[in-house]
Chains A and B, each alone.
Chain A
Amino acid sequence: SQQGEEDPQALSIQEGENATMNCSYKTSINNLQWYRQNSGRGLVHLILIRSNEREKHSGRLRVTLDTSKKSSSLLITASRAADTASYFCATASNDYKLSFGAGTTVTVRA
C-alpha cells in the first residue's frame, strides 16, 4: 500500500526557477528517500534523510523533514531542462520495504 503522497501531482516551471514538491506520510519512519524517474527509465536515488534529521542538501537539491507533521519537501533550485522527470518520495519504516507515493511530474520549460 502507498504511504507517501506527493503534492502537487504535476508542476510546470520555467528554466532557472525553483521547483518545490511535498510528500506526506502516515506512519512513523526510519528514513525518507527521494527518487527521480525519467520517462521510460528506472528510478534513480537522489537523497535520503533520516528521521532525526531536519534538512539535507545535495547539489541543487534541498530536502526537509518534519516528523511532527509527517511531511517532507524537495526543492530543486535553478531548474534545468534535464530536471524534467517524475519525482517520488519513499518511506522506510521498521523493515526493508520502501513505500512509494504516486509521484510529482515536473516539466521544465526552456
Chain B
Amino acid sequence: GAGVSQSPSNKVTEKGKDVELRCDPISGHTALYWYRQSLGQGLEFLIYFQGNSAPDKSGLPSDRFSAERTGGSVSTLTIQRTQQEDSAVYLCASSFGGRREPQHFGDGTRLSIL
C-alpha cells in the first residue's frame, strides 16, 4: 500500500518568506508526527497529532512554526518569516498510535533558506 507522502521533496526560498510543507499519512493511521533533521544529526521532535485530541506542540522551536491536521488525515507544517537556521530536512511520520507502534516515515522535505 501507499506509504507516507510528503511534498514538496525540495524547497528553496528566500529568507523572510513563508513556506508550507505537506504530509499525507498512511490511511488508517491516527497518529502523525513532524520532526526536523539537521545535517548529520538525529531527529528533533516538533509536533504530534493523535485523533481528535489537542496536538502536542511542545517541540515547535518558535511561534513562527505552526501545524494543522485537517479531517484527521493530511497535515500542513507552516513556517512564517523563514530564517537561515530553519534550513533542514522536515520529516513526517504516522502510526496507529501508542508507544509500541513503529512509526512510518516519509522521505522528507529538504528546506533551504537563502
Q: How far is the CB of B113 from chain A (nearest CB, A)?
A: 19
Determine whether the beta carbon of B42 is less than 8 Å from that of A102: yes
Indicate whether A50 sits within 8 Å of B105 (C-beta atoms), given known contacts A96-B50, A97-B45, A102-B41.
no
Measured CB to CB, the nearest residue on chain B to A30 is: B99
Task: Check if B41 sits within 8 Å of A42, measured CB to CB.
Answer: no
Given contacts A43-B105, A44-B105, contact A96 B4 (CB under 8 A): no
Q: Which of A2, A41, A42, A95 sits near B42, CB closer than 8 Å? A: A2
CB-nearest residue of chain A relative to B95? Answer: A96
Q: Do the beta carbons of B102 and A48 come within 8 Å of each other?
A: yes
Q: Report the Cα distance A72→B65, complex, angstroms.
A: 34
Summed over the interface, the residue pairs from A and B with CB atoms below 8 Å come to a total of: 56
Is B91 in contact with A102, judged by CB distance below 8 angstroms? no
- Check if B98 sits within 8 Å of A42, measured CB to CB: no
Interface residues on A, range: 20 to 34
Cβ-defined contact, B99 with A42, below 8 A? no
Chain B contact residues: helix, strand, loop or mixed: loop
A92 contacts partner chain B, Cβ-Cβ < 8 Å: yes
Residues of B with C-beta under 8 A to A96: 31, 48, 50, 97-99
Q: Measured between alpha carbons, how far is A3 from B102 in the docked complex, in Å?
A: 18
Q: In this complex, what residue of A is CB-closest to B104? A: A45
With A and B bound together, what is the CA distance between A97 and B98 in angstroms? 9
State whether A42 touches B48 (Cβ < 8 A): no
> In whole angstroms, how far apart are the Cα atoms of A76 and B47 in the complex?
32
What 5 A-B pairs come out closest when comparing CB atoms? A42-B105, A45-B102, A100-B42, A100-B43, A92-B99
Chain A positions within 8 Å of B, measured between CB atoms, are: 2, 4, 30-31, 33, 40-45, 48, 50, 88, 90, 92, 95-103
- Known contacts A97-B56, A98-B43, then 4 further A-B pairs from the complex at CB < 8 Å, ordered by chain A residue: A31-B99, A40-B107, A41-B108, A92-B100
